[in-house]
Amino acid sequence: MRTHRRSFYRIVPCVLAIGLVASILVSAPACRQAGRSGGAPVPPRAEIIPHELTTHGQTRVDNYYWLAERDNPKVVKYLEAENAYLKAVMKHTEPLQEKLYDEIVGRIKQTDLSVPYRDNGYYYYSRFEEGKDYPVYCRKKGSLEAAEEIMLDVNAMAQGHGYYHVTGLAVSSSNDLLAYGVDTVSRRKYTIHFTNLATGETLPDAIPLTNGSAAWANDNSTVFYTQIDDTTLRPQKIFRHVLGTPVESDALVFHEADETFNTFAYKTKSKAYIFIASTSTLSTEFRYVSADTPAAAFKVFQPRERDLEYDVDHYDDKFFIRTNLSAKNFRLMTAALDKTGKADWVELIPHRDDVLLEGFELFMGALVAAERMNGLVQARIIPWDETPEHYVDFGEETYSAWFGANPEFDTDWVRYGYESPTTPTSTYDYNMITKEKKLLKREEVLGGFDPADYHAERLYATARDGVKVPISLVYRKGFVKDGTAPCLLYGYGSYGYSTDADFSSARLSLLDRGFVFAIAHIRGGQELGRAWYEDGKLLKKKNTFADFIDCAEHLVAQKYADPGRLFAEGASAGGLLMGAVVNMRPDLFKGVIAGVPFVDVITTMLDTSIPLTTGEFDEWGNPAVGEYYDYMLSYSPYDQVEAKDYPALLVTTGLQDSQVQYFEPAKWVAKLRTLKTDDNPLLLWTNMEGGHGGVSGRFRRLKQLALEYAFLLDLAGIRE
């Protein structure tokens, strides 16, 4: 998915661009001009090289198609020139950036520990050390008073790398072997490694080109892993590897040949089965084998069907299936171990028109269902005996809640995470019998933070077609609703991803300076059920953009926002939202942050060699079909740029981004530079080391976030 919650930025020295770019730019490098003459920085302009693209008899001319040539030195020089220009334009905000960075870091408890969870006789947790960027993964045997065992110190592992990410930690059934994936480029190409936890030795087995995760069989030596395509990065093959044998001889157990599907392997919570999942936007299919017999052939659980989605877990003598079979908002079914086809599924939780079943957790004494009602997640406790069911009371008007680590069946406690715009991230254990709630940890926010100083609320905007669109917002108490406050509106609205109201200690730097922060829960997400998602995709995608504009206008009309200081932010598919909105209503916003934006929709979706494309035809449409081509072209931000005034724009990307290629935002900015008729800032930042999620490391990210906030505050006329 082209998803990303927040965007971050990194500054490079202005000197990088000097003397490198004259051959490809219309104007001189910005920092050289500013440094010598004292005048305003002059933006770089990419060379115009017309390239014709003909589809359905229609020819589009793309003047910046050449920017997709990743290995062309001229491309790198242009991106460096844009970085230098950003540095020059934002130079006057550097003291503010430093102040913001110090504030944000000052709220963080740098030496910190996650809440341990118990699995197979060990307590697992991670911790951060003061001043260090990466986690240390640890465990203790039997009790929390036992000696600490360090499994991985990522700080030591990351030395010498500009980017480093570890994922997919999985311990074998005998507790002595650890599998984990490492990416050092930010292209989501993980190599799986194995460590002997008793000796600390890294085994010679190294499996490249994977998604980073491995599922252990119960023999303590066999793993199943996913190989990705080297070009498209699509997870396409499942292999079986036996430790100590050559990776080249690994057995291929499944090949997902349909390019619109992805595949991965996982182990059930019961540790009894290995499943292979094949997933697309509208259909899923699962295969399974006993974890005790990993060399056996996999069986198909229920053959794939168009528009049939399901997922599976196991407990005791049943499989549990969440499915949309005759249930738009999903229902829960069970199946016997030897009869897994849909004809033999038995309903456990029926479908409801006003409740979306998002997930479930299985325990010895109860089933816990995650249900979304009125846009908010609820936890429904359903005991297996005759005890009445009930819901967990979360107690706030708008919030985010999710299942935590629950690896064991034999417990009366379910772990969940919780936060709201005023409540820091919290971990709870909830007793499903007594209803006792234990707060195990709440993110400690230093610097005198008091949640009573802030207020969150939920309101509804009426969209142009009469639909009520929820908005979550937060502000510092003392705010007066008189239409004078600066406001940042965030949106996403794609893939059925629900953007719940979260907490951010960094965001306090905006709130404490008088900002209102709001989230528009627009169509294309799934906050109000499956229909909410379906009304914001394919040939209804424009509802997403219209909803965001209508939410922005509602905030102004209700005097939550100053119409002259209204800002917008979105990233990835939310960056597409930003691109569409500024084309449709460029007058509405003072400034916009578009992070890793998916803005060249038509060209990307026509190129099946680009990662994610084939798997997303059911999300955006296939432009090889005329009807979808015409509709997508009508909103594609890059294609719809016109000669008119635009708001101030900060656009970010990563050279290694595999989800939205760097050249989409680069081309968009180049075209805007040529056509826009205003003098508002247009800034492009390319992280030359990072990918879709920016750089690795918690503190480097905060430097970049300070730049983003300084951009907003400067436009709002707030200098301190």
Give me the mean pLDDT over the 225-243 stretch: 94
Residue by residue, DSSP assigns 361-383 as EE-SSEEEEEEEETTEEEEEEEE
- pLDDT of 504 > 80? The answer is yes
- Do 685 and 7 touch, CB atoms closer than 8 A? no
List beta partners, residue 525: 523
Q: Tokens 């100053």 label which residue?
A: 562
Give me the mean pLDDT over the 671-681 stretch: 97
pLDDT grade for 533, boundaries at 50, 70 and 90: very high
Distance CA 441, CA 169 (A): 23
In whole numbers, what is the pLDDT of the chain averaged over residues? 91
Topology of domain 14-105+453-715 in CATH is Rossmann fold (3.40.50)
Question: What pLDDT is recorded for position 657?
Answer: 63
Question: What pLDDT is recorded for position 233?
Answer: 87
Question: What pLDDT is recorded for position 704?
Answer: 83
Q: Which helix (H) or strand (E) holds 487?
A: strand 487-490
Distance CA 665, CA 489 (A): 21
Reported as a single tens digit per residue, the pLDDT across 189-220 is: 999 999 999 999 999 999 999 999 999 999 99
pLDDT grade for 386, boundaries at 50, 70 and 90: confident
Distance CA 304, CA 308 (A): 7
Helices 73-89 & 663-675, crossing angle to 10 degrees?
60
Reported as a single tens digit per residue, the pLDDT across 429-443 is: 999 999 999 999 999
Read off the DSSP letter of residue 91: G
Residue by residue, DSSP assigns 389-413 as PEE----SSS-EEEE-----SS-SE
User: What SS3 state is found at 146?
Assistant: coil
User: What SS3 state is found at 361?
Assistant: strand
pLDDT grade for 534, boundaries at 50, 70 and 90: very high
Reported as a single tens digit per residue, the pLDDT across 159-185 is: 999 889 999 999 999 999 999 999 998
Number of helices and strands in the chain (H, E): 13, 38
Instruction: Answer with the residue of higher pLDDT: 323 or 260.
Output: 323
Strongest mean pLDDT among 151-165, 481-495, 607-621, 652-666: 481-495
List beta partners, residue 202: 195
Distance CA 13, CA 83 (A): 9
Distance CA 499, CA 712 (A): 22
Distance CA 606, CA 62 (A): 14
Q: Would you state the structure tokens that stand for residue 456, as one six-digit string?
A: 């969150």
C-alpha neighbours within 13 Å on the C-beta side of residue 632: 26
**Which of 447, 424, 422, 442 minimizes the C-alpha distance to 105?**
447
Reported as a single tens digit per residue, the pLDDT across 559-582 is: 999 999 999 999 999 999 999 999
Reported as a single tens digit per residue, the pLDDT across 405-431 is: 999 999 999 999 999 999 999 999 999
| Amino acid occupying residue 173 | S
| Amino acid occupying residue 389 | E
C-alpha neighbours within 13 Å on the C-beta side of residue 189: 14
- Do 462 and 468 touch, CB atoms closer than 8 A? yes
The model's pTM is 0.88
Q: Would you state the structure tokens that stand for residue 89, as one six-digit string?
A: 């334009």
| Amino acid occupying residue 621 | G
Count Cβ atoms within 10 A of the Cβ of residue 341 and give its class: 0-12 exposed, 13-18 middle, 19 or more buried.
exposed
- pLDDT of 36 > 80? The answer is no
Phi then psi for 101, rounded to 5 degrees?
-60, -45
C-alpha neighbours within 13 Å on the C-beta side of residue 593: 27
Question: What pLDDT is recorded for position 693?
Answer: 54
Q: Tokens 């392997």 label which residue?
A: 265
**Which of 449, 514, 500, 448 minimizes the C-alpha distance to 471?**
500
Tallying the residues shown for the chain, one arrives at 720
Helices 626-635 & 542-557, crossing angle to 10 degrees?
30
- pLDDT of 32 > 50? The answer is no
- Do 288 and 274 touch, CB atoms closer than 8 A? yes
- Do 468 and 461 touch, CB atoms closer than 8 A? yes
- pLDDT of 143 > 80? The answer is yes
Q: Which helix (H) or strand (E) holds 358?
A: strand 356-362
Instruction: Answer with the residue of higher pLDDT: 32 or 2.
Output: 2
| Amino acid occupying residue 576 | L
- How many other CB atoms are there within 10 angstroms of residue 411's CB atom? 16
Instruction: Answer with the residue of higher pLDDT: 695 or 397.
Output: 397
Give me the mean pLDDT over the 478-495 stretch: 97
Give me the mean pLDDT over the 13-30 stretch: 29
- Provide the annotated active-site residues: 572, 657, 692
Give me the mean pLDDT over the 58-71 stretch: 95
**How far separated are the first and last CA of the chain, in Å rounded?**
38
List beta partners, residue 262: 279
User: What SS3 state is found at 673?
Assistant: helix
Give me the mean pLDDT over the 647-657 stretch: 90
pLDDT grade for 59, boundaries at 50, 70 and 90: very high
Estimate to the nearest angstrom the gap between the alpha carbon of 13 and the chain centroid. Answer: 29
Question: What pLDDT is recorded for position 29?
Answer: 32
Distance CA 217, CA 172 (A): 8
Reported as a single tens digit per residue, the pLDDT across 249-288 is: 999 999 999 998 999 999 999 999 999 999 998 999 999 9
Distance CA 151, CA 299 (A): 35
Count Cβ atoms within 10 A of the Cβ of residue 77 and give its class: 0-12 exposed, 13-18 middle, 19 or more buried.
buried
Distances (CA, A) of 596 to 1, 549, 577, 661, 686: 13, 21, 12, 8, 9
Q: Would you state the structure tokens that stand for residue 446, as one six-digit string?
A: 């230093």
